[in-house]
Structure 1
Amino acid sequence: MRHWMSPIALATSVLFSVPANAIDIMPGDYTVLPDGTNALLLYGQYSQSSKLKVDGVGEVPDSKLGLGIGIARYLHYTSIGGVPVGLQAFLPFGGFTEARIGGAEPLTKSGIGDLTLGITAWPLSSADPTGTTLGVTAYVSLPTGAFRDEPGAINIGSGTWTFTPQIGLIQGLGNGFFFDGALDVAVRSDHTENGIEFSRDASVQVQAYLRYQFSATTNVSFGYSGTFGGKDFVSDTYAGTKTRSDQLRLFGSTFLTPTLQVQGMIGTDLNTEGGFRNDFIGTVRLMKLF
């Protein structure tokens, strides 16, 4: 039986993992590429948070979090039985520029994050300006990341396994406009550290972006990412933290050469409950096709 309590001590006993288990997409990511195509992607991301809200407590004063991470990602496109398939793996790495909760500096663990493996199948795909492309992806994140099991520690790794199925959609709207959307559910396995059980409810992420193609190689996009659920429990007692946020994002992308793309994103949280609020988040991504 789960209990509902709200002391700040409970919130700070949670083993925070950063980044969360949501699987972000960038507009155009669910485009099907020809069989045999390989893609190498490198991401750089920085986020800054100056507010922490805990359910039952409210805003925790003098709380900050700064994080710089990179991600190395590899994709291979093929087909099975005539159905387009994509295989991928990505590995985050990084560290904290600052971390403070209620005026105290928590323990942190920087370094390599959790390795994630994924496979995508596209039951529908179309290159038509008003066509529909639908992909289904299964992600598994392994507990390979840097992790400290002390209460209140903020980690790059999660310390446990996570399974995340995702549905991705590209819908052509005509006149250069496209809708890019994704829905995923992150299911994290329970784990016990030093005799204390940590668990998290399933976390749902919804992403919706409107993209405009100036040309075949250059576009801009604007949209929303929201996360829901993901309540954290410590020995079956609600800790007051969860993965609830609403974020606006602006993207730009262009191919510098036929095989080299650069893409950027800036965003900010409009609302966060039970966690750190991102005042700013920025991402730059390079993709090389070969």
Structure 2
Amino acid sequence: MHFRNKNALLLMLGGLLAQHSHAIDVNAGDYTALPSGTNVGVFYYQHGEMDGYYQKGDKARAESKSDIGIARFIHYTDIAGLRATPQVVIPFGSVRNTQIGDAHLNNASGFADPIIASAFWFINQPEQGVSGRYLAVTPFIYLPLGQYDKNDAVNLGENRFKYDLQLAWVQPLYGKLGFEFYQDAIWYGDNDEAGSGNQTLSQDTSYQTQVNLRYDLNAKQRIALGYAANYGGDQSLDGIQLKQNMEKQQARVEFQQMINSKTQLSAQLVSDTQVESGFKKDLGLNFRLFYIF
């Protein structure tokens, strides 16, 4: 596959960070409802190495590396009789050494688009099994305040509003086994500084499905096997369809360890198993520090 100019690359990329993260990824136990009045600080570190850029299933020689940090602040409270978690999510980091074919793209560093959100629990039964039984929804709003330069192919910000509605269902199975199901629908505003810098990028609604099969070894340790699939999200530039299939599938394995009664560490290994368009993440390492205060 050959790329003749920067504009062709811009058309294909359509926002590099969107290729890396379509929706809010979850860790096992994320929807355990803590008592009202609890405050939580979460820090994420994500290292990714991408090998190969795909368009309609065809692979081009490409690579990219990223190191992303995320600071998340959560407050548990009750709103209208429902447990709720008003929160703010602040992503930052760097994407570097990005190359597609013979084209070397710019490095990007700084803050990505911050997110405001709150989960609402309609079923809150922590006494059910080891995992508890929960049904919750979380609306996320992405604010277009992150680093973005219309002259760059690689940006951390997307220069557009995004709205993600996430449904979560946690169900105990047998003994220490539990099942977690998450479904996202993501709506996109327009980026009016895309392509050449003076074009409008529009995107259809995209979807993400995530599942975890978790096993609580004991009160302090947990392992989980996960799977995620992204689909939908067709893009157009000034009304011209880019004809990129956003389908992606990913396998995950996670280990969690309570350090003390207030602190948990998580380590997750991820790998893309199928990518129709965009970078393929052969290896991703995600770490999370969860602290209750």
TM > 0.5: yes
- Give yes or no for the alignment of 1:206 onto 2:206: no
- Give yes or no for the alignment of 1:170 onto 2:170: yes
For 1:270 and 1:286, how far apart are their aligned partners in 2?
A: 27
2:86 maps to which residue?
A: 87
Q: SS at the partner of 2:290? A: strand
For 1:261 and 1:220, how far apart are their aligned partners in 2?
A: 13
For 1:126 and 1:206, how far apart are their aligned partners in 2?
A: 23
Q: SS at the partner of 2:70? A: strand
1:224 to 227, 234, 258: 227
For 1:141 and 1:21, how far apart are their aligned partners in 2?
A: 12
For 1:271 and 1:8, how far apart are their aligned partners in 2?
A: 26
- Give yes or no for the alignment of 1:257 onto 2:260: yes
1:140 maps to which residue?
A: 141
1:24 maps to which residue?
A: 25
For 2:155 and 2:21, how far apart are their aligned partners in 1?
A: 10
For 1:90 and 1:259, how far apart are their aligned partners in 2?
A: 20
For 2:63 and 2:187, how far apart are their aligned partners in 1?
A: 27
For 2:4 and 2:22, how far apart are their aligned partners in 1?
A: 24
Q: Which deviations, in whole Å up to 9, do the C-alpha atoms of 1:188-223 show, x marking residues without a partner?
A: 101211431111121100000100001122100002
- Unpaired segments of 5 or more residues in structure 2? none
The letter for the 1-side match of 2:217 is F
1:3 maps to which residue?
A: none
For 2:151 and 2:38, how far apart are their aligned partners in 1?
A: 44
Report the alpha carbon displacement of residue 83 of structure 1 after superposing the two structures with TM: 1.3
Contact 2:216–2:223 (8 Å) recurs in 1? yes
TM-score (norm 1): 0.92
- Give yes or no for the alignment of 1:276 onto 2:279: yes
Contact 2:97–2:107 (8 Å) recurs in 1? no
Contact 1:11–1:240 (8 Å) recurs in 2? no
Structure 1 residues 206 and 283: CA distance shift in structure 2, 3 A: same
For 1:247 and 1:77, how far apart are their aligned partners in 2?
A: 31
- Give yes or no for the alignment of 1:245 onto 2:248: yes
Report the alpha carbon displacement of residue 163 of structure 1 after superposing the two structures with TM: 0.4
- RMSD between aligned residues: 1.8
- Give yes or no for the alignment of 1:37 onto 2:47: no
Q: SS at the partner of 1:28? A: coil
Contact 2:188–2:204 (8 Å) recurs in 1? yes
For 2:233 and 2:76, how far apart are their aligned partners in 1?
A: 32
For 2:189 and 2:173, how far apart are their aligned partners in 1?
A: 39
For 1:197 and 1:256, how far apart are their aligned partners in 2?
A: 48
1:13 maps to which residue?
A: 10
Q: Which deviations, in whole Å up to 9, do the C-alpha atoms of 1:247-288 show, x marking residues without a partner?
A: 000000011000000011001111001110000011010011
Aligned length in residues: 282
Q: Which deviations, in whole Å up to 9, do the C-alpha atoms of 1:151-203 show, x marking residues without a partner?
A: 6x111111110000010111011210111111001111012114311111211
Identity %: 27
* Worse-superposed segment, 94-103 or 271-280: 94-103
2:290 maps to which residue?
A: 287
Residues 67-106 of structure 1: matches in 2 within 5 Å? 67-106=66-105
1:154 maps to which residue?
A: 154
Contact 1:145–1:157 (8 Å) recurs in 2? yes
Report the alpha carbon displacement of residue 101 of structure 1 after superposing the two structures with TM: 1.1
Structure 1 residues 223 and 20: CA distance shift in structure 2, 3 A: closer
The letter for the 1-side match of 2:223 is V
